Structure 1
Amino acid sequence: MASAFGVTVDFIDLELPRFIAAGKLHCKINKVAGVLETNRPDARNAFYQAAIKQGDFLLSRIQKLSRVIDL
């Protein structure tokens, strides 16, 4: 991959983890095998994750409201 982009392997080793951690690349680095494994999230999975997050937020707000009402 480094030769395809015209950079050194060390540069790739430094830059790829930053992009992966920031969520800009959806992949894993397998240094032993020397490959980059992609795992592209689909729209259905993203929708599911957003729904779970919103549900957790709503439940938290309802619990806080319940505590205020009980006082």
Structure 2
Amino acid sequence: MTQTGWGVGKITAVLYPFGAGAMALNVYFASLILSWLGVPVITPLNAILVSLPLGIPATWLFARHIRGLMNKSQTEQ
């Protein structure tokens, strides 16, 4: 069977802003939780800067999942 529709790379590129934003929230909230243990809280800007590279693998994994669902739906038609 041939794949139709967008590939994983294109899905990743389109969803990257959302993945990086989600990672920024996760990093910032993790720093808030770690503040209970005495670790300093990072600034929101630093959380964004840390999330930029972390958003790539997270979004790629999500794009693979979406592509897998698209492939599955095409075989079940």
Under TM normalisation by the shorter chain, which class is it? 0.3 to 0.5
TM norm structure 1: 0.38
Higher helix share: 2
Higher strand share: 1
